[in-house]
Amino acid sequence: MTRPLTLASLPLFPLSTVLFPGGTLDLRVFEVRYLDMVRKCQAAGAPFGVVALAEGSEVRRPGPAQEQLHDIGTLAHIEQLQAPQPGLLLLRCSGRQRFRITQRSRLPHGLWIADVEQLPPDLAVAIPADLQASATALQRLLASLHQRNASASAAPPPDDPALADCGWVANRWCELLPLPLELRQRLMALDNPLLRLELVGDALERLDILR
């Protein structure tokens, strides 16, 4: 049995959102604990880990730490970095592989680091006929986004082969739909991309998007 790849002392960026593999994330970084971390990751070409907050705030507050982190997150690779003024970094990151935290600790200045094991990527699963409406609706939406502003979405052109893949289509809908944070996290953590798309399809029907 193949052992999972592991990373030691991975810096973490806890957020009130979920980063999905294949997705993009724009960040405004201004806290000291993250400014240094981002610069080091950029210089080394290394990722950091994005994890959703189970409790607590993105911005550090005075007093005892209240941050509680989910165990499964996504590696974020810095694609663009700008420094428009001192003490502020603007990032565009891409989501890559998911990971599971095996051990975590918080440094004195507030940065979380963790030992993690990387989770296998989604298996490529073709979209079955009964879920094809989800892909068709996403294709229409992506076409509309590209017409408005080509940079408004990191999604590929509407005829990209990824639109035939259960995991990719499910992930893009999870980013676009107004889902509660806890539900987004559970969907991202699912190892079965077909099940993820089935649950997304249920949400699309409830929101009357598939008509």
Residues of the chain with CATH 1.10.4060.10: 129-206
Identity of the amino acid at 179: L
Write the DSSP symbol of residue 159: T
Q: pLDDT band for position 63 (50/70/90)?
A: low
By C-alpha distance, which of 78, 156, 161, 171 is closest to 122? 171
pLDDT digits (tens, 9 = 90+) for 84-143: 999 999 999 999 999 999 999 999 888 999 999 999 999 999 999 999 999 999 998 888
Average pLDDT over residues 59-67: 66
Q: What is the pLDDT of residue 99?
A: 97
Q: Give CA–CA dist 189/191, Å, rounded.
A: 6
Residues contacting residue 116 through CB under 8 Å, at least 6 positions apart: 6, 7, 10, 49, 73, 99, 100, 101, 102
pLDDT of 1 strictly over 90: no
By C-alpha distance, which of 71, 25, 17, 26 is closest to 182? 17
Strand 48-55 to 68-69 pairing: antiparallel
Strand 112-118 to 68-69 pairing: unpaired
Domain 129-206 has CATH 1.10.4060.10: yes
Q: What is the pLDDT of residue 161?
A: 78
Residues of the chain with CATH 2.30.130.40: 6-118
pLDDT digits (tens, 9 = 90+) for 152-205: 445 555 567 789 999 999 999 999 999 999 999 999 999 999 999 999 999 999
**Fold for the domain defined by 6-118:** 2.30.130
Q: What is the pLDDT of residue 111?
A: 93
pLDDT of 145 strictly over 90: no
Q: Give CA–CA dist 45/162, Å, rounded.
A: 26
pLDDT greater at residue 71 or residue 109: 71
Buried b (16+ CB within 10 A) or exposed e, 45-64: eebbbbbbbeeeeeebeeee
CB-based contact 48:123 (threshold 8 Å): no
